[in-house]
């Protein structure tokens, strides 16, 4: 996940990832963030190159024993859904992750991991806006595909011109001009977040992973996507999901 280069190309054509600067520096920092996250949650050691390399098809599904966790219905999948990684999911890039699905259809699926902060500051991504970006605001790691490119999510009760609505109050930004505009007026990450890279699935792959129990599927909300404590949000969401299943 992403399943293969084809899925990455499909998602890239549909979504338009904005190149970020300085490119090589940001890519190295994003790759390092993947390695640190993987080692922390899965107890494995990866190289930076391995962290950003497209995994083979079925890599995520193979990490979950068949039938070990309750399966979500494939029919629940769609844009605006939140994928909650099952406790048993051990795939290094996605263990303990929350993924907002922004695209899903016959050509595959695309999402953004919303709970993994990097050490890459927005001032490094947008060097012309260093004063506006501030020293503390950092980007998130959206997934292993194209870590040298950026997408953004904005929270707004009103329509955001030039952006695509994903769910109520949450809009996907795909242009540098609009990203820079939001960085200038929303330097913190409570209403605007930049993501390096994204997650992609080949046709049918996400459905298969969901059937095997790798993902629990929930309705996404702006409060969850922009939770002020992303480091603990997975634990709270997985507990909430499991409680709901037990209460049925």
Whether the pLDDT of residue 104 is over 50: the answer is yes
Find the Cα–Cα–Cα–Cα dihedral 6, 7, 9, 14, rounded to 10°: 140
pLDDT, mean of residues 228-246: 87
Whether the pLDDT of residue 190 is over 70: the answer is yes
Whether the pLDDT of residue 170 is over 80: the answer is yes
Return d(Cα 149, Cα 182) in angstroms, integer. 17
pLDDT tens-digit profile of 150-163? 999 999 999 999 99
| Token pair of 67 as six digits | 């039938």
Q: What is the DSSP string of the chain?
A: ---SHHHHHHHHHHH-PEE-SSHHHHHHHHHHHHHHHHHHHH-----HHHHHSPPPTTTTGGGS-TTSSPPPPGGG-STTEEEEE-TT---TTTTT-EEEEEEEETTEEEEEE-S-EEEEEHHHHSGGGHHHH-SS-EEEE--SEEEEEEEEEEE-SS--TTSEEEETTEEEE--HHHHHHHHHH--SSSSEEEEEEEEEE-TTHHHHHHHHTSEEEEE--HHHHT-S-HHHHHHHHHHHHHHHHHH-
195 near 189, Cβ under 8 Å? no
pLDDT tens-digit profile of 1-46? 444 433 443 444 444 677 664 343 444 444 433 333 332 222 222 2
Ranking 61-65, 107-111, 139-143, 174-178 by mean pLDDT, the lowest is 61-65
Q: 143: phi > 0 → left, psi -120 to 50 → alpha, else beta; which?
A: left
Pick 221 or 52 by higher pLDDT: 221
Return d(Cα 155, Cα 3) in angstroms, integer. 30
Question: Going by DSSP bridges, is the β-strand pair 145-155/215-219 parallel, antiparallel, or unpaired?
Answer: unpaired
pLDDT number for residue 242 = 76
User: What whole-number percentage of the chain has pLDDT above 70?
Assistant: 67
Return d(Cα 200, Cα 220) in angstroms, integer. 18
CATH of 5-64+72-241, one of 3.40.1740.10, 3.90.226.10, 3.30.230.10, 3.40.630.30: 3.40.1740.10
Return d(Cα 16, Cα 11) in angstroms, integer. 8
193 near 173, Cβ under 8 Å? no
pLDDT tens-digit profile of 37-85? 332 222 222 222 223 333 333 445 445 444 444 455 788 899 999 999 9
**pTM, rounded to two decimals:** 0.75
Q: Which of 146, 193, 156 is nearest to 30 (CA)?
A: 146
The domains of the chain are located at 5-64+72-241
Most distant CA pair in the chain: distance in Å? Answer: 53
């Amino acid at each position: 996940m992403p399943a293969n280069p084809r899925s990455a190309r499909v998602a890239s054509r549909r979504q338009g990832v904005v190149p970020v600067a300085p490119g090589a520096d940001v890519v190295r920092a994003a790759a390092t963030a993947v390695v640190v996250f993987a080692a922390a949650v899965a107890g494995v050691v990866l190289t930076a190159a391995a962290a950003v390399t497209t995994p083979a098809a079925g890599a995520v599904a193979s990490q979950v024993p068949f039938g070990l966790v309750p399966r979500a219905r494939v029919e629940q999948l769609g844009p605006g859904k939140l994928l909650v990684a099952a406790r048993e999911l051990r795939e290094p890039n996605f263990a303990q992750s929350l993924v907002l699905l922004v695209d899903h259809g016959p050509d595959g699926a695309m999402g953004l991991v919303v709970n993994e902060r990097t050490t890459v500051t927005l001032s490094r991504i947008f060097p012309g806006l260093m004063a506006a970006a501030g020293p503390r605001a950092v980007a998130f790691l959206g997934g292993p595909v194209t870590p040298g490119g950026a997408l953004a999510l904005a929270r707004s009760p009103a329509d955001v011109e030039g952006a695509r609505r994903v769910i109520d109050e949450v809009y996907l930004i795909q242009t540098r001009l609009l990203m820079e505009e939001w960085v200038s007026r929303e330097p913190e990450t409570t209403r605007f977040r930049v993501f390096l890279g994204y997650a992609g699935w080949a046709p049918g792959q996400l459905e298969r992973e969901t059937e095997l129990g790798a993902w629990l599927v929930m309705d996404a909300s702006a409060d969850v996507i922009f939770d002020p404590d992303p480091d603990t949000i997975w634990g709270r969401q997985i507990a909430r999901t499991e409680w709901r299943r037990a209460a049925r």
